[in-house]
């Protein structure tokens, strides 16, 4: 029996991002999976596990203690939206920014379409502006 879309997205964040289990990418994505809204050099969607792994290595490498908490989900059919709280410590330069040792705390959402036990397509909207402001790369907005 296939997991529900909600169970699948919770498994994705717990195993991949919180525990760092890279094999989760190969188990839960297909070669045709499309991931929108993540920073890539060419600004295009990520397609398939092999294209997703460099993003995973760079982001988790920068924040080895990364913790993504799924606060709530809303599901409809084969699609689930997840509201996430993300924390971590910036300990490596893998995002192209010298390690700052700073704690980050930001929020985001993703919508994931599933088929059986696979992620087929994902849309991400995480507050990377807040992340870069907390790292001191971008100025804070005036109050």
Answer yes or no: is pLDDT of 100 > 80. yes
Q: What pLDDT does residue 112 have?
A: 98
Q: What pLDDT does residue 141 have?
A: 79
Whole-number mean pLDDT of the chain? 95
Domain boundaries, the chain: 5-134
Answer yes or no: is pLDDT of 40 > 90. no
Q: Give, in words, the CATH class of 5-134.
A: alpha beta
Quick check: 8 and 24 in contact, CB under 8 A? no
Neighbours of 104 (CB within 10 A): 19
Answer yes or no: is pLDDT of 66 > 90. yes
* Helix and strand totals (H; E) in the chain: 4, 6
When pLDDT is averaged across residues 88-93 and rounded to a whole number, the result is 97
* Residue of 41 and 122 predicted with greater confidence: 122
């Amino acid at each position: 029996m296939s997991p529900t879309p909600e169970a699948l997205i919770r498994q994705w964040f717990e195993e991949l991002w919180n525990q760092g289990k890279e094999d989760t990418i190969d188990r839960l994505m297909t070669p045709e999976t499309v991931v929108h809204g993540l920073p890539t050099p060419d600004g295009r969607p990520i397609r398939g596990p092999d294209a997703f792994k460099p993003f995973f290595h760079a982001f988790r490498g920068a924040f080895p203690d990364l913790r993504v908490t799924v606060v709530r989900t809303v599901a409809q059919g084969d699609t689930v939206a997840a509201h996430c709280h993300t924390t971590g410590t910036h300990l490596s330069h893998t995002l192209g920014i010298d390690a700052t040792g700073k704690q980050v705390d930001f929020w985001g959402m993703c919508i994931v379409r599933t088929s059986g036990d696979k992620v087929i397509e994902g849309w991400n909207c995480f507050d990377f502006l807040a992340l870069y402001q907390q790292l001191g790369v971008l100025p804070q907005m005036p109050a």
